[in-house]
Amino acid sequence: MALKLAVLVSGSGSNLQSIIDRIEDGSLDAEIRLVLSNKPDAYGLTRAEKHGLPTVALDHTAYASREDFDAAMVQKINASGAEVVVLAGFMRLLTPVFIDAFATIVNIHPALLPSFAGCHGQRDAAGYGVKISGATVHFVDEIMDHGPVIIQAAVPVLSGEDGDSLGARILEFEHRIYPQALQWLAQGRISLKDRHVLLAEAGIPKAALCAHGLVNPPLEDGF
């Protein structure tokens, strides 16, 4: 049975597009029940509409509090029948009103957590002068960029590289590891022990790792 997703976006929605593409090519066993944005002009909504997906825009500035806004999102997501919430460039801090409403919320962050949490992970990593950065897919808990890690991709930082350049290269890996993590959820292969995400084997061949990065756990064919 396909995993039923609600995808939340605030901007261009490139990670949303990668999820749509993998669903349409058959490598991700999922169905997008709703694409929701806090910004009515977010291009992610346009991407969704081009694929005939249901969309909702809820302008967060129209609500008296974060809790009120989160309650409105919960109502829309529940009405869609989605079972997993996917944060794909959703630039709002979530309150317990939202987090407590869903069993599974996942997020992608453009850095190797727990390093460089926050909304400027690429810029902060480049500015610090690290030699390795990357991307992390993780479960969401009550602390920002803190939940258990599902999959990470490591990307070497080039000498003198700025945050924009590094971010563009990290984004290529985001587009691969996010659909992969969702497919593992769809297959029921992920379990959680304390903070450790465990992945059950499925006898599926692993894809070759990119020469310019490293993914752990390894990607499987199709991602």
109-155 pLDDT, tens digit per residue, is: 999 999 999 888 899 999 999 999 999 999 999 999 899 999 999 99
Q: Is-catalytic flag, 109?
A: yes
Residue 208 has pLDDT above 80, yes or no: no
Band (pLDDT 50/70/90 cuts) for residue 211 is: low
pLDDT of residue 210 exceeding 70, the answer is no
**pLDDT, tens only, 17-64:** 999 999 999 999 999 999 999 999 999 999 999 999 999 999 999 999
DSSP secondary structure letters along the chain: -PEEEEEEESS--HHHHHHHHHHHTTSS-EEEEEEEESSTT-HHHHHHHHTT--EEE--GGGSSSHHHHHHHHHHHHHHHT-SEEEESS--SPPPHHHHTT-S-EEEEESS-TTTT-STTHHHHHHHHT-SEEEEEEEE--SSTT-SPEEEEEEEEPPTT--HHHHHHHHHHHHHHHHHHHHHHHHTT-EEEETTEEEE----PPBPPPPTT-EEESPPBTT-
Q: How confident is the model at residue 82 (pLDDT cuts 50, 70, 90)?
A: very high
Name residues whose C-beta falls within 8 Å of residue 43's C-beta, 6 or more positions apart in sequence.
Answer: 11, 12, 13
- Which of 51, 109, 138, 175 is an active site residue? 109
Distances 27 to 20, 76, 180 between C-alpha atoms, Å: 10, 27, 9
Task: Give me the domains of the chain, ranges plus CATH numbers.
Answer: 1-103 (3.40.50.170), 109-223 (3.40.50.170)
Per-residue pLDDT tens digits for 151-194:
999 999 999 899 999 999 999 999 999 999 999 999 999 999 98
Residue 145 to residue 115: CA distance in whole angstroms: 10
Which pLDDT does position 9 carry in this prediction?
Answer: 98
